[in-house]
Each structure stands twice: as C-alpha cells, then as structure tokens.
C-alpha cells in the first residue's frame, strides 16, 4: 500500500463555495479534468458527490465542521451539502 498518496496541484481558479441550510446547496459541474476534490464544510453537514447529487440529512456522508477531506470524483462531478444542525458553506477545490 502506498502511504504517500498524491493528488497533484489544485486547478487554478477552480475553487467554489456554496451555501447550504435545511435545503441542499449544490456546486455547478466541476472541470472535466478534475479527478479529485478537497471538501471543507464550515458547519457539520452531509454531502453527496456525483453527476446529479442532492445531499439528504442523515443519509449522506457526514462531514464534521472545519475538517477537510479529499475524494476521488468523475469528470464534471458536482458536490451537494445540507446542514446537520446549522447552515454553513461548503468549499470545494478541484484537483
């Protein structure tokens, strides 16, 4: 197992921010050459990543506040987030 995972360099100018509340917020499609995303939520949230995601509370993947995570994704993927208890913003950086 390679313990030195490499994601490359963030795509210049590609970071996006979307607000979420009790209603999911979803990014526009990420660049076609994006294969990985860094996701950070400002408050605890549930997320979904895919071609047409809609995050749903308690069934999506839980993201604690302020802890970035990296995920592989397909070309033109979108990220959707919904609050766990309070609204916030999801910051998404494509790699």
pLDDT score of 5: 61
Q: Is the pLDDT of residue 30 over 90?
A: yes
What is the rounded average pLDDT of the residues 86-94?
98
**Predicted TM-score (pTM) above 0.75:** yes
Q: Buried (b) or exposed (e) across 48-78, using 16+ Cβ within 10 A?
A: bbeeebebeeeebeebeeeeeeeeebeeebb
């Amino acid at each position: 197992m390679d313990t030195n995972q490499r994601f490359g360099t963030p795509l210049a100018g590609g970071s996006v921010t979307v607000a979420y509340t009790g209603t999911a917020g979803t990014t526009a499609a990420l660049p076609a050459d994006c294969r990985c995303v860094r996701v950070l939520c400002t408050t605890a949230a549930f997320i979904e990543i895919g071609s047409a995601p809609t995050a749903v509370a308690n069934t999506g993947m839980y993201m604690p506040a302020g802890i970035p995570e990296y995920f592989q994704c397909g070309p033109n993927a979108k990220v959707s987030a919904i609050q766990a208890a309070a609204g916030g913003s999801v910051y998404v950086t494509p790699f």
